[in-house]
Structure 1
Amino acid sequence: MQKIDKIAEMSAAAKAIRESGKRIAFLPTLGALHAGHANLIRLARLQADVVVVSAFVNPLQFGPSEDFLKYPRTAVSDALLAEREGADILFTPAQEEMFPRGFSTHVLEEVISKPLCSITRPVLFRGVLTCWLKLFNIVQPHVVMIGEKDPQQIAVVRKAIGDLLLPVEVVTGAVVRDVDGLAVSARNNYLTPTQREEALAVYGALKRAKEMVESGVKSADRIVAEVTHIMSAKRRLRVIYISVVDRNTMDALREIVPGNCLMAISYWVDEVKLTDNVLL
């Protein structure tokens, strides 16, 4: 596996790959690579000839009170995982080169990004799109890999790609869970054993929501009420949002349309913010 940390070198490598007629799959990450990323790298190998993974803690997507400085930086283990899973290039640009002093251009999607996560993280998707568009210009991918752990991000990125006519295909990978059912996330490392045990109630609530739909329940309000009830029994959990939404537009739904909607949850476990979702 090749390791690149300069934009010019990555751009030159991407240009050479494309000129050789090979297809590039790209996985943009914040680093702290885990089993979810490993799954996406394996999927990427099926999509393209060359797999590029970026590990960059993007400052633009963190608000002033969020965990940018605390976010795990695990360069050594990132490289080991990326190489083990078959990545061809690990791109680790420096912040001062990605966003030098005086950088003042941003990309904003103004409809799909508005609800859910943006209510408490207003800079999140502007930061993601700005960073990813720059990475797309550097890496020149044919396909971008995104995990279904972040369904709103998938919808926002797809909309931006379509609106801006970017020649990039989006391929998604299923939510990866630990053996106890908790959705894999870098922020899980913040949890104490007690906090993790309480967070597992969210997975149980999502399974209950799916069971209700499979038994014929169509009312989104009824399912949200049941999930809220389950989570409220755990004193460390605080709900940010629980919503049944259209998986493509993120519009809130009153009636379940099986296969076309999902339940999305964002919540605090004490001071740790996590998200999860399930297709209904």
Structure 2
Amino acid sequence: MLVKSIKEMRGIVKQWGKEGLSVGYVPTMGALHEGHQSLIERAALENDRVVVSVFVNPTQFGPNEDFDAYPRDIEKDCALCEKLGVHAVFSPDAQELYFPNRSTTVHVSALTDVLCGSKRPGHFDGVCLVVAKFFNILQPERAYFGQKDAQQVAVVKRMVRDLNFDLEIVACPIVRELDGLAKSSRNVYLSPQEREAALVLNRSLEIAKSALDHGERNASVLKAALLSCIVQEPLAEIDYVEIVDSESLQVLKGKITRSILIPIAVYIGKIRLIDNITYEI
């Protein structure tokens, strides 16, 4: 069922609530792939009803980013959702979701000052605003996010905690192609040569994981190993490579003594790809 109206969507979830049915929510920008499918399947296992939002959110794109070119195919997305048993696909128009004279923002400090947040000013303000709107409209018990966007997961979890939203944020594992490339809607932009070059992201992370498995605990040494791998790929341009604390996202440079996140962002040609691994010490 495709729902465009906020009023209609509210009515549906209100009725589910009266019937005592739990709601699982999967936020997406469409162009659904196997990564999204894994989130939907997890939501279906843990809830009575599943809502998937399909909304390319203008407030999280910068002036030089790919908002206009971002892939859109609502019919294909709805067909996949129907196949997976989704109860409602919520795809509102931006004109209804955002008021022309809006003056409210949602900003999570500190966690958004690093990594993608430092490279894309205002991005996470846009993410938090639209996610807060959907939480308010849908009133889900649980919301499902992919761990590939690890900073986004951390930021949304902090927003939910700080604003006392009554829901659980469920982070789901990264889904990869057979050759290790993380699933992403942006992968369709890659030429065959770029697609091959993109494997350097996962390859570098595997090198870091192997070093950790063999006892390496110096963050600077790990970062150097990552950089050494990526720079060998001629089509790769590094945006950032960091070793950070899993919870605070603060950059680590010395001895690693607790759980870490290794996030990387790399341009392959003009396409910006992200990937990461977490490691428990």
Q: Please give the range of the TM-score, normalised by the shorter of the 2 chains.
A: over 0.9
**Structure-2 residue corresponding to 1:22:** 21
Distance 1:257 1:212 in 2: 15
Q: How many residues align?
A: 278
- Unaligned segments of structure 1, at least 5 residues: none
**Structure-2 residue corresponding to 1:256:** 256
**Structure-2 residue corresponding to 1:270:** 269
CA contact (8 A) 2:107 2:125 kept: yes
Distance 1:232 1:208 in 2: 14
Distance 2:226 2:135 in 1: 38
Are 1:12 and 2:11 matched, yes or no?
A: yes
String of CA shifts for 1:11-37, please: whole Å, max 9, x gaps.
111111111111101011111111000
Over aligned residue pairs, what C-alpha RMSD do you find?
A: 1.0
**Structure-2 residue corresponding to 1:125:** 124
Distance 1:21 1:143 in 2: 15
String of CA shifts for 1:71-110, please: whole Å, max 9, x gaps.
0001111111111222111111011111132222111001
What pairs up with 1:230-241 in 2 under 5 angstroms? 230-241=229-240
Structure 1: which amino acid aligns with 2:187?
A: N
CA contact (8 A) 1:151 1:247 kept: no
**Structure-1 residue corresponding to 2:70:** 71
**Structure-1 residue corresponding to 2:86:** 87
Structure 1: which amino acid aligns with 2:113?
A: K
More displaced 10-residue stretch of structure 1: 28-37 or 99-108:
99-108
String of CA shifts for 1:175-216, please: whole Å, max 9, x gaps.
000111100000001100101111101111101100000000
Distance 2:35 2:226 in 1: 25
Structure 1: which amino acid aligns with 2:230?
A: M
| TM-score, normalisation: structure 1 | 0.97
CA contact (8 A) 2:112 2:118 kept: no
Are 1:105 and 2:119 matched, yes or no?
A: no
Q: Shift of the alpha carbon at 1:279?
A: 1.6
**Structure-2 residue corresponding to 1:197:** 196
Identical-residue share of aligned pairs (%): 37
Distance 1:45 1:80 in 2: 16
Distance 1:81 1:248 in 2: 34
Distance 2:202 2:85 in 1: 30
**Structure-2 residue corresponding to 1:52:** 51
Q: Shift of the alpha carbon at 1:113?
A: 1.2
Q: Shift of the alpha carbon at 1:264?
A: 0.3
SS in 1 for 2:131: helix
String of CA shifts for 1:216-261, please: whole Å, max 9, x gaps.
0001110110110110011111111111111221111233346x21
Distance 2:214 2:275 in 1: 22
